[in-house]
Amino acid sequence: MNVIDGLFYGYLDLLWGKLLIYMLIIIGIFFTVRTKFVQFRHFGEMIKLLGDKNMTSGEGGKGVSSLQAFFISAASRVGTGNIAGVAIAIALGGPGAVFWMWLIALIGMATAFVESTLAQVYKVKDGDQYRGGPAYYMERALGQRWMGILFAILITLCFGLIFNAVQANTISLAFESAFNVNKTVMAIILVIITAFIIFGGLKRIVAATQLIVPVMAGLYILVALFVVIVNIGEIPAVIGHIFSSAFGFDSAAGGAIGAAMMQGIKRGLFSNEAGMGSAPNAAATAHVSHPAKQGFIQSLGVFFDTIMVCSATAFMILLYDLTPNAELEGIQLTQAALSHHIGGWAQIFVAVSIFLFAYSSIIGNYYYGETNIEFLNTNRTWLFVYRIAVLLMVIFGSVSGFQLVWDLADAFMGTMAIVNLVAIVLLSGIAVKVLNHYLKQRREGIDPVFTENSVPGLKNIEAWNENRLDK
């Protein structure tokens, strides 16, 4: 290892081993308490809103609906982290990593509510649509454009470029293993279909995610349920193994509590993105009558991603006593476990699943970068350059080494998350006031409606005046 490598990995260890993990847990608990356990007390409200007919279409057929915004964020969330990331966490941290993944998701639901509600409050008009996210509330609420610029650069590099290399890398590995498809060939295919979507704008992104997300997640969870039902007698032992390993009660775990905690939290965040500042970019696009509605929806998204989809992968792996080795990296570990449960066609099923999961993530990740490019500079030339860069990173990820892209993703993700966490802690009081305003109207039996005057003291509000698009 040379000096540069040593500095990079030293920074990565500091960021993930100490600072960010502590921040995520402490801030998540802080938001949970300050919102009076919003993710637990109002879980039923989240489910109700997801099925509310008023949440399923934009005003007059224009713009993006709340449900469509959920699909955009789910497209990014539900990706390689749910299949390859969970496998990595178990391989490196043991079964106990699953417990910490669950914990960070339950805590993170409150964080997701806060950041997505803020994104809705400070969203801006973009024709007949909206855009927004952390960069926008950093500038408008905190008055710190420099902070917004820093975040916009980090998320564009992290999601639009680095994370898309991760997604492409996982697709190429899965197809090489299942179909013996050359990585270069896979890179060419991915570039063509990605270019078709991203050069079509937000409407084409919405259409693609709205089609892919329900199908891919539904099929994957159904297969996992089949595996669980067939092995139902072993489930208590698996759950017991997860908890004993998480707290070091399992003699085989030894001193691996730290590894389990770190891997679970790292991969949990990579998967559900709570606090990272990514999902708020999708949340801001939604046409809703009240910002808290999309906060609830995005909080539910964290639950859906980790407690449901990640757990599906974890149980399929843990129900097969598989010992990881150098020949089984990430997605290939999941393929091997599932092959044990459902036969040889599992490799094909996982390869197709990861293609849908990861490809939808490429699309969702791209949009996060696009909306932040527009924050930095509205000149369309920059957007064109960004799109070309995304396609080049898809090629790079498809043919590059496995560990390199994951390490780059970890470094950028950690830095970006810290910037966003600082901002949402400073602005959390606004999110709590918006939540209280929503709940007050709910208690009065009316469908909550928000305006710029609903919470005293708000400034630089653009989208919530009497002429708003979703009035």
Give the model's pLDDT for residue 146: 93
CA dihedral 40, 133, 197, 412 (to 10 degrees): -90
CATH (domain of 370):
1.20.1740
| 444 phi and psi angles, rounded to 5 deg | -85, 0
Distance between first and last Cα of the chain: 59
The total domain count for the chain is 1
> Is 43 among the domain residues?
yes
> Is 26 among the domain residues?
yes
Q: In the predicted model, is pLDDT for residue 122 greater than 70?
A: yes
> Is 467 among the domain residues?
no
* Share of the chain residues as helix, strand and coil, in percent rounded to the nearest 5: 75, 0, 20
> Is 299 among the domain residues?
yes
Residue 279's domain comprises 3-443
Q: In the predicted model, is pLDDT for residue 344 greater than 50?
A: yes
**DSSP 8-state code for residue 307:** I
Q: Write out the two tokens for 3.
A: 């000096």
Q: Write out the two tokens for 116.
A: 């997505």
CA–CA separation, 59 and 71 (whole Å): 18
Q: What is the pLDDT of residues 370-419, one digit of tens each?
A: 889 988 887 888 889 999 999 998 888 888 765 666 666 667 777 888 89
How far does Cα 217 stand from its chain's mean position? Answer: 14
Most confident of 4-13, 181-190, 458-467: 181-190
> Is 184 among the domain residues?
yes
Q: What percent of the chain has pLDDT over 90?
A: 21
Place of tokens 């999601």: 159
> Is 300 among the domain residues?
yes
Comparing C-alpha atoms, which of 286, 295, 277 is closest to residue 137? 277
pTM of the model: 0.83
CA–CA separation, 131 and 133 (whole Å): 7
Look at the chain and count its residues.
Answer: 471
> Is 127 among the domain residues?
yes
> Is 471 among the domain residues?
no
